[in-house]
A and B are shown apart, each in its own frame.
Chain A
Amino acid sequence: MSRPADYYMRNRAIHPPAFTPDYKTSVARSPRYALISLENTVSEITGPRFGHNDIDPGDNDLLTNYVQAGESPIGERIILHGRVLDENARPVPETLVEIWQANAGGRYRHKKDTYLAPIDPNFGGCGRTLTDENGYYCFRTVKPGAYPWRNMVNNWRPAHIHLSVFGSGFVQRLITQCYFEGDPLIPICPIVQTIPDPDAIEQLTATLDLNATIPLDSIAYKFDIVLRGRRSTLFENRPEGN
């Protein structure tokens, strides 16, 4: 019989390299030496696990998790939903998904953000949830606005939501950004364009999902996340514990 073993090697061709000079901050923050390749041990195959006692059920609703009584954030009400799968197309159940984003005007609730667009008093901008047994997750929020940043003189980030996902092994740990279908800022963003593979950029772009909208309430976008898959040992002589 087979049993789960190492994770598949990360395909670095679809990920951004460390040194991407058009995204200027990467210049001084990218290692110059090659990464040392490491076959998985117990340290890599294992990872933290989270349960329902770690979070509150309402943590995935950004329309209500930071509001004053009777109020609501301003902006386009959206549902962001999808599945967390692995490269074998198997669902990743009970895994923690965390998101953060700017408000509808492109302003972050962060003491270091000084953009002149105002804070929304009813919007925090972070949420978290656990996937269900089918790997499914769902958030309710407002669609974030584009915002300017100090890179080149006139650079604007596309509307985006940051996502952090765990998986079941620490090697699956991933932080990424979700963009929105049809946004003309996507092809001219130096951070998006750190990714060399056009298909990989498309995979970061959420699709309008009319079937999941709630009529007269919220529009919906679908965003599936794929984490690294895992091999099963078929023929390998190795004592237990890898």
Chain B
Amino acid sequence: MAQKLAYLKETASQTAGPYVHIGLAPGAAGFDIYEQELGHDIAGPNAKGERIRIAGRVIDGMGAPIKDVLIEVWQANTDGHYAHPEGGGPVEDAFRGWGRVISDFETGEWSFETVKPGKTQGRNTAMQAPHLNLWIVARGINVGLNTRLYFSDEPEANAADPVLNLIEWEHRRATLIATRSEEGGAPLYRFDIRLQGEDETVFFDV
């Protein structure tokens, strides 16, 4: 017998269930309990860069929108810095870079407002194209799904992005690119996430 390794084992994941809102978005569950709910303001009032809105749906393998999904966002500021000691550099006061959004109970549509992130440092010397990191939990999802959202108006950066280029099937890269349009003169990106089937979104084991 060899020696035993002393590492602990990670606690196993379980689904967030249909009532995830009680814990993480109680206002949506139908009651006010906290002075402030977390995750409503991603960029804060002082963030530099372009203000954008992102909207979409999460669609199941039957083609139906999921109406009880919760998505968390983690992103850099316009300089490509994360609000973290190892984030690459300073961020604006009150820039958190993290947000939490839920889908509408009737339509499954979700949206949030933020600023467009800058390029971030990749592994080694490569730069990563501007992207948001998304984490998706819901009833029926046993382990939170990680994906990335890239921007359709960054074709050159996207073409050089080391993570997009990891995806062997080139046509699947398009599932990670949000489409830019205008809404009342302001930029809007559409990003539908397909959990399963045709045009299934790329999910990462991070």
Contacts and interface: CB of A to CB of B under 8 A. Distances in A.
Interface string B69-95: 000101010000011101110000000
A17 B201 CA distance: 17
A147 to B, nearest CB: 10
A14 B9 contact: yes
Interface string A208-233: 00000000000000000111110000
Interface in B18-55: 18-24, 26, 29-31, 33-36, 38
Contacts of B88: 42, 241
B146 to A, nearest CB: 8
A173 B163 CA distance: 20
B124 interface: yes
A31 B145 contact: yes
Determine the main DSSP class of B at the interface with A: loop
A186 to B, nearest CB: 12
B131 A43 contact: yes
Contacts of A164: 16, 23-24
Contact of B206 (A15, A26, A40, A242): A40
B93 to A, nearest CB: 13
Contact of A203 (B12, B18, B61, B206): B12
A173 to B, nearest CB: 6
Determine the main DSSP class of A at the interface with B: loop
A197 B83 contact: no
B3 interface: no
B26 A124 contact: yes
A89 B6 contact: yes
Interface size class of A (residues with CB under 8 A): 35 or more
Interface size class of B (residues with CB under 8 A): 35 or more
B121 A49 contact: no
B142 A162 contact: no
A204 B10 CA distance: 11
Contacts of A15: 10, 12-13, 142-143
Interface string B141-163: 11111001000000000000001
Interface in A14-72: 14-18, 20, 23, 25-33, 35-50, 54-56, 59, 65-66
Contacts of A162: 14, 16-17, 19-20, 23
A142 interface: no
Contacts of B121: 41-42, 241-242
A56 B12 contact: no
Nearest to B21: A110
A229 B7 contact: yes
B174 interface: no
Contacts of A201: 12
Interface of B: 6-24, 26, 29-31, 33-36, 38, 60-62, 64, 66, 68, 72, 74, 76, 82-84, 86-88, 96-98, 105, 120-125, 128, 131, 133, 135, 137-145, 148, 163, 166-167, 172, 195-197, 200-206
24 contacts: A16-B14, A23-B142, A28-B60, A28-B62, A30-B195, A31-B145, A35-B205, A36-B204, A37-B204, A41-B163, A42-B76, A45-B86, A108-B22, A108-B29, A110-B22, A110-B30, A162-B20, A170-B206, A174-B10, A175-B16, A177-B15, A197-B12, A200-B9, A241-B88
Q: Which 5 A-B pairs have the closest CB atoms?
A: A100-B23, A25-B140, A48-B98, A29-B140, A46-B84
